[in-house]
Amino acid sequence: MTRSNNRELDRLRTEIADACRVLAARGLADGILGHVSLRIDDSMLLVRCRGPRERGLAFTVPDDVRLVDLDGAPAGPGELDEGYTVPNELPLHTEVLRARPEVRAVVHAHPPAVVAADLAGLAVRPIVGAFDIPGMRLAAGGVPVYPRGVLVRNRRLAQEMVNALGDRPVVVLRAHGLTSAAGSVEQAVLQAISVDTLSRLALDIASAGGSLVDLPDEDVAELPDLGGSFNTDTAWRHELARLRTPTPVSGERLDERR
């Protein structure tokens, strides 16, 4: 592999590590569970692996991201050295990539609100408008459910999940979490955040005694397409800024923490 290819892989490892930390910061991947992958070509992917000093997604570093083939074997020298292993649920990623050539990135997370809302019978629905336009459109297209609370640890189970996902960007995994598929790591993470936000709102509405109501068609028609630059690029810069900027506690200024 050339030096320029190595530099590009290093950049992508950093991108995936950042994505893992964003998921954790947003509460979608507490503890040591969850992973993110990115297709490199038809036979290889970068995926967040577990090492001998595993600390969870919130503490992911680029070195935790390893290059493997679709069967989980190392795709380069030293990729699974130092005690690193691929996720048990690697087939969850690789079967999506095999079935959906347009997908480059797969996110698997365990958002408690998504699990709770699904178990409570609250589907992901387009209940908001300008509050989250991409999330509304995602929900309006349907968020399917894979109804088995299993560890998706082999190709047979992963194919079941892929069948449930169909051509949609996100599938809820009952009693488990979610899988998000997209053309980029950033988009896959932002989709997961939108589904989590809608699930949180649904639980809040239900706990307040309300009923979920879909956004009226006339309101949907009024919502603009703000474009990928705003919906993805700007939103992702915000997520990275949240990781790297100290958040003051109530009543505390940032300059008091320096």
Residue numbers annotated as active site: 89
Give DSSP secondary structure letters for the chain: --HHHHHHHHHHHHHHHHHHHHHHHTTSS-TT--EEEEE-SSSEEEEE-B-TT---GGG--GGGEEEEETTS-BSSTTTT-TT-B--TTHHHHHHHHHH-TT--EEEEE--HHHHHHHHTT-------STT-HHHHHHHHT---EE---S---SHHHHHHHHHHHTT-SEEEETTTEEEEEESSHHHHHHHHHHHHHHHHHHHHHHHTT----PPPHHHHHH-----HIIIIIIHHHHHHHHHHS--PPTT--GGG--
Rounded distance, CA 90 to CA 154, Å?
A: 8
181 phi and psi angles, rounded to 5 deg: -125, 135
Question: Under a CB-based contact definition with an 8 Å cutoff, are residues 143 and 171 in contact?
Answer: yes
Residue 150 half-sphere exposure toward CB, CA atoms < 13 A:
15
Rounded distance, CA 94 to CA 75, Å?
A: 14
